[in-house]
Each structure stands twice: as C-alpha cells, then as structure tokens.
Structure 1
Amino acid sequence: MTQLCIKCGFIHNCYCEAIPTIASDLCFTLLTHPNEFQRDTNTGKLVARMVKQVNIREWQRKQPDPYCLPESCAFTPVLVFPTQDSVPLTQWQAQHPSTSNFIVLDATWQEAKKMLNRSQWLQDLPKVHLEAVQSSQYQLRRNQQAGNLCTLEVCAQMVRELESGDDANAMLTFFEQYLQWFQAERSGHALPICSQKSTL
C-alpha cells in the first residue's frame, strides 16, 4: 500500500530523492505570509531543501521579525522587492561584499505588496531588484501576472546573478519536473521520478 511521505507530503509522487543540493553561500530569509503555511502550492519549502542557508520566518504586521532587523542580525538585511528606490541586485552585491541577509516575501504578489505597505520596518530596509527576469513557469495559482516569479524562481534568479548559472538551472530543471509531479499528485496517479539529486 502506498504511504504518504512524511517529508514532502506526497503519496504517489515522492520527489525527495530528486531534490538537487545547491552549493550556495547566499543567505535567504523567507518572510512568509501566514496563509502560505496552509498552501500546498508554496515553493519556499522547496528552496529550504535545496539551499543550506535558508530561514523561514512568519510575517506579522505589527511585530518586526528580529532576524530581519539590522541591529539584531549578523548579516545585513536587504529586501528583495522592486520599488522606486531599489537597486539592481548585482550593484548591491558589488557595493556590499560582506554577507547579506536577503529577505524574500514568500506570498502571493498581492499579499507581498500588502506586507510591504503595512510594515514600516520593511519599508525602511534597503531594497534590491532582479535584473534579467525570465518568464515564470509557475502555473499553480490563478491571477498570475506577467513578469511575476514565485519564491523558488526568485531565489534561483538570485543564484544565477550572483553565483552560478549551472546551479540556477539545476533548481529550475527540478522545479519544472516538480510541477508535473504536483499535478499528477492532485490527480491521484504517479509519474516516473528519476533521481537527480547532486551536489553542484
């Protein structure tokens, strides 16, 4: 009898052996909207299984997260979000060679905008934006707007711009296959899963 995998939560299409291990030195904080913890379409959890320095924190509107504040974090916190005062990611990295704590808003784009608008402490952080944004392959949610990337795609693009195109491609190749396994899991049938787990 097929059993539910306690790690990925899938019954028919466990993908655990296919998750690539990405040798990234980037530090990510996924500031997660409370609703995301209840969504099976969340991709932040996949990033946390690929990259070693990933912290998942729950966003609270009135309470700043200590891990995201300059005075209480060993790394420099910087918000990854396109705004009028954001700078290109590569420019930031060139001007701040010490380790940064890259804060990614893990939510729908509509929720992410509200998180920023409702949290003055987020607005006060320095901000960066991605430069060469490709089309998203994420189609699991409705009302996806052109140019918007999911959390995994944002992190992969950051790896591409700051570290390694090969590692970024490994993340996206896995994600492309994951989307097929996810749809098959929803339908209650299994697809072949070939292990691609590797350390790049």
Structure 2
Amino acid sequence: MSPRVFLRPRCDRCNLPQHLCLCAELPRVETRTRILLLQHVVETWKKSNTGRLAALALANSQLLTYGAQDESLDTALLSEPGTWLLYPDGPTSPPDAPAPKQLVVLDASWSQARRMTQRIPALRTLPRLVLPPPSPGMLRLREPTHPSGMSTLDAIARAVAMLEGPEAAAPLERLAALRVQRIADCGTLM
C-alpha cells in the first residue's frame, strides 16, 4: 500500500499554495520598457515559477508560452525594433546603443533557456542585456546551477534597476524577498 499524498490547494492566480499566496501583496509596477516573458511550457504550473508573479506585477508585460503542443509561437513580437534579450552571454549591444523598448525574458531552467535560444532563430539575433553576477547576500531558496543563476523575478528586478533605476525595481525586489521569506518561514519548499 502506498502512502497517502496530500496536495495543498493552489491559488489560481499566482499558482502558489494557498497558504503562501502573494496576490494581496502584488505591486503594480509601471515601466517604460515592455517585458515579454517567454515561458517554457514545463514552467507553466511549477509552484516555484516566479515568471508568473513578475507578469502579474508588471503593467507593461506579456506572458507567452513556448513548447506547448498544437501551439506555435508568434515570433513577430521578437522582431519588433528595440527588442533585446535578457541573457548571460552572447552578442551584447554597443555601449552607446539606445535602451531597449522591449526586453525578452526566458522563463525557464538554464538548459531549457539554452535550447530555446537554439531553436528560436529570432532570439539569436537580439542584442543581449547581461546582468552582473548576483551579490552573495541575495535571498534564495536554493543554490543556482549557473554562476549567474537567479529566479526570473530577481532577474527582471535587476534588469529594471539597470534600465529604469532602483526606484522602479524596488517593488519587484520586495516581492521576490517576500516570496523567499514566506516560503522559508513555512519551513518547506512548497
């Protein structure tokens, strides 16, 4: 006989277990830069996914799913003028280039993100916004698998800080820290 598994009900909006729901804490963050989240289908219903939280908090954002059967990705959005890719390596833009109008963020594991950049030709041609490595004091739930690793929400907050200043990123940083703290206080990884 197998042990009984109890699944905790999740919030339909933020996808976190209901006892960790952050919907009441979601800020409304206005940015000049449009954030286009390209979420790998495997990430869609993960409780650990932070891309969904970022999309809920950012007024100027759109969340698209990549890799779903019977769905094709409209790559026209990736070809809009002024579109950059948030990625740790690759062709960076010249220092005197104008700031991006749209920033594509891959919401995926490192291996999934690497495959996405290989399989979506439009991503390979975009200039890259490369973040500096995370500070040692950054709150995390687990150790990253990549030296520049951080959650999607943390990465977006850092990108917004670089592009629009720390004041614009502060609500996203608070949301990321609150998420980590709430989960840590429960003593569980959900």
TM-score in terms of structure 1 length: 0.73
1 CA distance for matches of 2:90 and 2:176?
30
- Give the % identical residues: 23
2 CA distance for matches of 1:4 and 1:15?
11
Residue 37 (structure 2) pairs with residue 30 (structure 1): yes
1:110 alignment counterpart? 111
Letter of the aligned partner of 2:43 in structure 1?
Answer: E
CA drift at 1:168: 1.8
After superposition, residues 42-81 of structure 1 pair within 5 angstroms as 42-60=49-67, 64-70=73-79, 73=80, 75-81=81-87
CA drift at 1:84: 3.6
Q: SS at the partner of 2:44?
A: helix
TM-score in terms of structure 2 length: 0.76
1 CA distance for matches of 2:78 and 2:29?
27
In structure 1, stretches of 5+ residues that fail to align are 189-200
1 CA distance for matches of 2:125 and 2:10?
43
1 CA distance for matches of 2:97 and 2:84?
13
1 CA distance for matches of 2:90 and 2:65?
26
CA drift at 1:77: 2.2
Residue 139 (structure 2) pairs with residue 137 (structure 1): yes
1 CA distance for matches of 2:12 and 2:87?
33
CA drift at 1:170: 2.6
User: How many residues are matched?
Assistant: 177
Task: Specify which of 40, 46, 59 is matched with residue 47 of structure 2.
Answer: 40
Larger RCO, structures 1/2 (Cα 8 Å, 6+ apart) = 1
2 CA distance for matches of 1:110 and 1:32?
13
1:195 alignment counterpart? none
Asked if the contact 1:134–1:147 (Cα under 8 Å) also holds between the matched residues in 2, the reply is no
CA RMSD, Structure 1 to Structure 2 (Å): 3.0
